């Protein structure tokens, strides 16, 4: 069975990284954007990272420019924005497409494993969140407007 650990992603710094490097951790994979009304969620995502990282948790951010062109920057600009404005320390990856013909394989897997409302596989907007267990299995999808703070109980259950 395919798990999140089977995928490779490019970091913001341009390095290929196996998501298997996160094996044994509970993950929250989020498609993010710097110019979105939901961008302030970075604060809460970073708070989750700091609170739960010592127990084997990580947020993984995947910038996406497919929704209203809300992530137009380069990887360097994205890194600077996230660091300077939100103090992001969690792993950030290069921009990906989450819908359409160019959908990143990881997101194709996430969408298939955890469809949205009424079985729709499309990601509806930035800050859609996918919770992954320690074995790399997709546990749940959360809507863009679901607050990261509201996921704490589900994260705790997997830790």
Active site residues: 36
Question: ∠ CA(131), CA(159), CA(143), 5° rounding?
Answer: 20
Sign of CA dihedral 114, 47, 92, 6: negative
| Rounded alpha-carbon distances, angstroms, from residue 66 to 4, 31, 82, 110, 125 | 22, 10, 19, 17, 8
DSSP state of 77: H
The beta strands (E) that lie in the chain are given as: 8-10, 16-18, 26-32, 57-63, 129-132, 138-142
* Residue 88, burial from CB neighbour count under 10 angstroms (0-12, 13-18, 19+): buried
Cβ atoms of 8 and 31 within 8 Å: the answer is: no
| Residue found by looking up tokens 């710094």 in the block | 13
């Amino acid at each position: 069975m395919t798990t999140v650990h089977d995928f490779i992603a490019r970091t913001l710094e341009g390095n290929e990284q196996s998501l298997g490097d996160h094996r044994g951790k509970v993950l929250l994979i989020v498609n993010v954007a710097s110019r979105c009304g939901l961008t302030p969620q970075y604060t809460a995502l970073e708070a989750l990272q700091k609170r739960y990282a010592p127990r084997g948790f990580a947020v993984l951010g995947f910038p996406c420019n497919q929704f209203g062109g809300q992530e137009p920057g380069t990887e360097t600009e994205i890194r600077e924005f996230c660091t300077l404005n939100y103090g992001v320390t969690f792993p950030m990856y290069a921009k990906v497409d989450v819908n359409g013909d160019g959908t990143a394989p990881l997101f194709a897997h996430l969408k298939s494993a955890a469809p949205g409302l009424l079985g729709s596989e499309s990601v509806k907007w930035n800050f859609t969140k996918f919770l992954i267990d320690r074995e790399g299995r997709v546990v749940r999808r959360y809507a863009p407007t679901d607050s990261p703070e509201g996921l704490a109980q589900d994260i705790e259950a997997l830790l």
